[in-house]
Structures are given as structure tokens and as C-alpha cells.
Chains A and B, each alone.
Chain A
Amino acid sequence: MSTQASRAAARLMLSPAVILLLMWMIVPLAMTLWFSTLRYRLLQPGAHPFVGLRNYVFFVTDPAFSTAIVNTLILVGGVLVITVVLGILLALLLDQPMWGQGVVRLLVIAPFFVMPTVSALVWKNMFMSPTSGLFAELSKAVGLVPFDFFGQAPLASVIAIVAWQWLPFATLILLTALQSLDREQLEAAEMDGAPPLKRFWFIILPHLARGVTVVILIQTIFLLSVFAEIRVTTNGGPGVASTNLPFLVYARSLLQFDVGAGAAGGVVAIILANIVAIFLMRAVGKNLDA
């Protein structure tokens, strides 16, 4: 339908929006790149001389850097595994006809509406606190020593909190995927002699592949940049035990007032995110093709 002229007109009309979006993206990116090559410390006033890649060398050779990379990957991977596995189980459960289905579904979605800082605070103070938390009280009630979650297992605790927040999203996506499964396929499998577990393995799970892919791709984008939960609970510690890449960038630029190193860290984070994205698209992207 589109003629040469109408296509040209379309481009012209779209250009303001595209240019705005491009500037929205390009300007901060360019400034970050620019700052990452300067010696720019907030506590040292005066000129900001060009230092080439020295900020990058400084950021990458920092022993905290490799820990932060590993922590970032463990955090993303751990939350993905927990939310996908539990999400599938919850979706299967919620798909069963039961009394009060609507209310139960609403309750399951609820954590998604709680702000990350708030939920992290609630977990920290009301559940996981070794002195006054619910888990501590429970341990004491059965005669155990309360477990110091953020001291002993800081990264695992953060993973648990973040997984709790993202579980509703995974459940919701997987539930809709499950509901789009043709019931007759399950009945056919039943008549073909497949018991429930085999029906799950051979029919339901392949059908959910696309939903799982969507969950993985979308969650990864957000999980790479988890910050508030760490800031509120462990503050990256003890030491750097629960520091991920975004938190390291924050620590460099705003705790040590080194804008240059922080910017360099930001660029490294962008590169890491792109590596992960390429890897993921290769691994699971084909599930999105019809």
C-alpha cells in the first residue's frame, strides 16, 4: 500500500519522536563515556584532566570488581531459577479450579505492587532480623539459635527477597501461557497413556517454553540492575559479599566521590548487560519464533 511519497512522509512525521528518543539515550551515554575518561573526583576541585582508560583499569583491577561480576550473575541466575520453578508450580496450582480463585490470584500478584525498598525493609526488619524477626522467633520457639541471615548468607538473603518480588510476575506470565494450552491436547495425552508427570513433561512444559523465555528475558533486564534491595538490607556487605555491579558503581561514584571511576563502571555494566543479552537471545530466543 505504501508509496514512496507516503513512506517519506511517514519518516518525516516520525522523526521528531525518533530524534527525541535518540537524544534521550545518546546524551547520557555520551556523557558517561566522556566522564569515564576524566579524572573527576568530587573531593578534588579544579580541572578534570583527560586520563584515557586509566579509570577502566582502576575499576576492573579492583578486587571487588570480579566479586561484583560473580555476585551479579549469581543474583540474576538464582532469582531466575527460583522464580521460574516456583512460578510454574504456582501457575499449575492456580490453574486448578478452586473456591475463591479470584481472591487467591489477586493475593499472589500482590508482592509485585510493593515498592522494592519497602519490601526489602519489611523482610529485613520483620522477617530476617536475628533479634526481632519472625524467623528468629520461630527458631527460638523450637529451641534453635536464630540465624543471622544478612551476616551469614547475605547474597542468598538478597536473592530470596528479590525472588519474592518477581515471583508474581513469573507466575502471571506462566499462568496465562498455561491457560492458552488446548485442553484437548492434555486429554489426548491422557488417552495415549501418559500419567500426570509425563503429561507435564511432554505436553505442558514444551508449551510453556515461550512463556519461560519471556520471563527470563524480561526479568534479566531488571535483575542486572538490582540496587534498592541491597542498599536497604546489606549495603553490599559484609565486605563486598553482596555487592553487585550496580552497587559497586554506586559505591565508587557516591561513596568514594569518584565520578570518573563510577562512569567507567557504568560503561562496564552496559557491556556486561549486552553480553548477557546476546547470550540469552542465542540460548532461548528461538522459542519466541512462532
Chain B
Amino acid sequence: MGMIELSKVTKRFGYVEVVPPLDLTIEDGEFCVFVGPSGCGKSTLLRLIAGLEDVSGGRIVIDGADATAAPPAKRRLAMVFQSYALYPHMTVRKNIAFPLRMAGMPPEEQARRVDAAAKVLNLTPYLDRRPGQLSGGQRQRVAIGRAIVREPEAFLFDEPLSNLDAALRVGMRLEISELHERLRTTMVYVTHDQVEAMTMADKIVVLNAGRIEQVGSPLDLYKAPKNVFVAGFIGSPKMNLVSGEGARRFGAETIGIRPEHVRVSTTEGTWTGTVGVAEHLGSDTFLHVHGTGLAETVTVRVGGEIDLRHGSRVHLTPDPDKIHRFDANGLRLP
């Protein structure tokens, strides 16, 4: 149930190859997140899986059956769009029931399923409203409701939270994760936000210009990024990437050290610099240190109650076990 396998899947728009040949297996019941910068082909890949775009080459196997040429309706997948794509002239009830109605399900069964979904998603009071009379978060829930009533093999989400404000986004993130815990259905989730990827995923697929840079669990990617791109993309604030002389001392072309793996001292350290901006979050403080002799500004995380401010002299020491080393091609050195 719900296993999706892509082999040598390729997509070209005209002469532009947006997705070069790509292999990927998404296991049954997995929460798989595609993450990458804007325009890297995440949506295209998701739409290829959905069947909304035809592949230019390769095979898509869903649930053991070749679905490469199957129309979207036959793939038993449900999609939640970034714009929600609700039907504006239908009530919430009709929106959620639409896939059931199209499947020719008897009205009582439709009503039962819609009521059940509405209860799960806290939509019961709004069933007779139209999408235009709902808030962003409620619309999002209707879109999810329309997806879950069909009991699909897998859910596809295309940046579902990017139209919500920050507070709502965190709430919906939890709700979608809880939904996955309860349903245990395969979910493929596209986002450009690495925080969403890290917090929600069982498996993260990092994409860059249509290519897969690395596949792995959130902690795999955090602990052992395969290359400089993944190193810089995963983690917040970004990993410090140092190249040139500072890196060669460690026997690498580029080294990376996460802000939380740099020790700060006022007396001694490997690098000495001046605090530029200090961002106090309460629990943590992020210092942006420059003038260390390295080309790049170094970001470090210190405890929340430290009293260092703009202009303070600090000494930085990277934790030698936590340094990531990369060669001239940007690939990880052992």
C-alpha cells in the first residue's frame, strides 16, 4: 500500500530539462519531504507523481503497479494545492464530498464520511459556508478534508502552509504531523522551508536544480551532509562554511561548522573577532562575528543570558569533532 517508486524519471519543458533522470523510493506510510530552493523542480516532481504532468522518460510505480501512463484519477492519490484550489461556488460540505460524489458513492455514506472528516478537522460549524467566508487556516483544513475522505494511497502536499501566517503555520504543521501519526498513510510533502522539513519528515529529499543532493532522515542530513549544498541548506541558522586558508588548515577545501558547535570565550580561542549583530531570542543568542581573518562572517550560538553585545571582542573555538570537511568539488571528506 502506498509505496511510490520513481526510476529514471525525467521531465523536460521544451528543451529545458527541469528534472534530470532521477531515482527515488518512497516507502509505504512514510512522511517524505521534498525540500530545496524555489524553482528547483519540487512542484514539478510532485505533479509528475500526481499525473498532472506527463514524464518525458522513466517509470513511476505506485503500489507495485506501473502508473507512468495512468491518469491522475486512477492513481488513488490525493493532492493539497498551495492555493488550496477549493471550489468557490460550493459549500464546505460539497467541497469535501466532491471526490466521493465523483466516485458515485451513496449519499448516506458521503454524509457519514464528510461528518467524520469535519469532526477530525474541527470544521463542523463551517460545513454550510463557502470557501470565501473562511479564514486561511480553515480553507487549508477544508483542502485537507477533501483529500482525506477519499482514503487515498498517499497524500501529496505542495507547500500547503506557505500562504499562512507564522503562528498558524506552526499550528498546522503539528496538525498535519498528527494526522500522519493517526492515518499512517504515505505523505509526500513539498516545501522550501527547511524547518518544516526537519520537524515533519521521516525522510528528507534535498533537491537542487532537479537533482537529488541527498536523501536521509533529518538527523542524517544534520549530522552528515553529503556536500556543501546540503550543509548550507539544512539547519537554522545556517552552518558556517569557511573556504580558503582557514579551511586548508584542516586539510579541506571547505569546512563547515554549525553555530551551536563553536565555543565562545572572552579570553582565548582559534579565531578572534568582533561581535557585529547579536540576536537575542531569550533561550538562545546568535552572535554574528566578523574580523576573524576568515572571509566569511561567523555565526555562533550562545546561551540566552550571555552579556555580549555589538563591538565586544570574542574568541571562537570550533569543536574539532563537529567540523565537516569538503573537497574541491564540494563533496564530504571522510
Contact B77 A191 (CB under 8 A): yes
Chain A residues whose C-beta falls within 8 Å of the C-beta of B88 in the assembled complex: 207
Chain A residues whose C-beta falls within 8 Å of the C-beta of B71 in the assembled complex: 190
Q: Among the interface residues A189, A191, A206, which one has the most CB atoms of the partner chain B within 10 A?
A: A191
> Which residue of B is nearest A290, CB measured?
B132
Contact of B85 among A184, A194, A202, A207 (CB under 8 A): A184
Chain A residues whose C-beta falls within 8 Å of the C-beta of B87 in the assembled complex: 185, 188-189, 202-203, 206
Contact B73 A188 (CB under 8 A): no
A189-205 vs B, Cβ < 8 Å mask (1 yes, 0 no): 11111110010001100
B interface residue count range (under 10 / 10 to 19 / 20 to 34 / 35 or more) = 20 to 34
Contact of B81 among A188, A202, A207 (CB under 8 A): A188
Contact A185 B85 (CB under 8 A): yes
Quick check: is B182 within 8 A (CB to CB) of the other chain? no
Quick check: is A95 within 8 A (CB to CB) of the other chain? no
A255-283 vs B, Cβ < 8 Å mask (1 yes, 0 no): 00000000000000000000000000000
How near does chain A come to B157, taking the closest CB pair, in angstroms? 13
Chain B residues whose C-beta falls within 8 Å of the C-beta of A62 in the assembled complex: none
Chain A residues whose C-beta falls within 8 Å of the C-beta of B33 in the assembled complex: none
Contact of B83 among A182, A190, A191, A194 (CB under 8 A): A182
Contact B98 A192 (CB under 8 A): yes
> Which residue of B is nearest A184, CB measured?
B85
How near does chain B come to A38, taking the closest CB pair, in angstroms? 54
Quick check: is B102 within 8 A (CB to CB) of the other chain? yes
> Which residue of A is nearest B143, CB measured?
A188
Contact of B52 among A191, A195, A198, A203 (CB under 8 A): A191
Contact B89 A189 (CB under 8 A): no
- Contact residues, B68-83 vs A (CB, 8 A): 71-73, 77-79, 81-83
Q: Number of residue pairs across A and B with beta carbons under 8 Å?
A: 57
Tell me, in angstroms, the Cα distance from A185 to B82 when the chains sit together.
11
On chain A, the number of residues with a Cβ less than 8 Å from chain B's Cβ atoms is 18
Contact A192 B83 (CB under 8 A): no
Contact B73 A190 (CB under 8 A): yes
Contact B102 A198 (CB under 8 A): yes
Contact B89 A191 (CB under 8 A): no
Quick check: is B103 within 8 A (CB to CB) of the other chain? yes
Contact B89 A182 (CB under 8 A): no
Tell me, in angstroms, the Cα distance from A25 to B103 when the chains sit together.
58
Contact A191 B50 (CB under 8 A): yes
Tell me, in angstroms, the Cα distance from A249 to B79 when the chains sit together.
61
Tell me, in angstroms, the Cα distance from A184 to B79 when the chains sit together.
11
A152-190 vs B, Cβ < 8 Å mask (1 yes, 0 no): 000000000000000000000000000000101101111
Chain B residues whose C-beta falls within 8 Å of the C-beta of A184 in the assembled complex: 81-83, 85
**Known interface pairs A187-B85, A202-B87, A203-B87. Does A192 touch B102 (Cβ–Cβ under 8 Å)?**
yes
How near does chain A come to B102, taking the closest CB pair, in angstroms? 4
Q: Among the interface residues A187, A188, A209, which one has the most CB atoms of the partner chain B within 10 A?
A: A188
Quick check: is B93 within 8 A (CB to CB) of the other chain? no
Quick check: is B146 within 8 A (CB to CB) of the other chain? yes
Tell me, in angstroms, the Cα distance from A209 to B77 when the chains sit together.
31
Tell me, in angstroms, the Cα distance from A109 to B72 when the chains sit together.
36
Quick check: is B57 within 8 A (CB to CB) of the other chain? no
- Contact residues, B31-51 vs A (CB, 8 A): 50-51
Quick check: is B136 within 8 A (CB to CB) of the other chain? no
How near does chain A come to B188, taking the closest CB pair, in angstroms? 13
Chain B residues whose C-beta falls within 8 Å of the C-beta of A209 in the assembled complex: 89
**Known interface pairs A190-B72, A191-B78, A193-B102. Does A206 touch B146 (Cβ–Cβ under 8 Å)?**
no
The residues of B with any CB-CB pair to A shorter than 8 Å are: 50-52, 71-73, 77-79, 81-83, 85-89, 98-99, 102-103, 146, 150
The residues of A with any CB-CB pair to B shorter than 8 Å are: 182, 184-185, 187-195, 198, 202-203, 206-207, 209
Interface pairs A-B: 10 shortest CB-CB: A184-B85, A192-B99, A188-B85, A193-B102, A193-B73, A206-B89, A184-B81, A191-B72, A194-B102, A185-B85
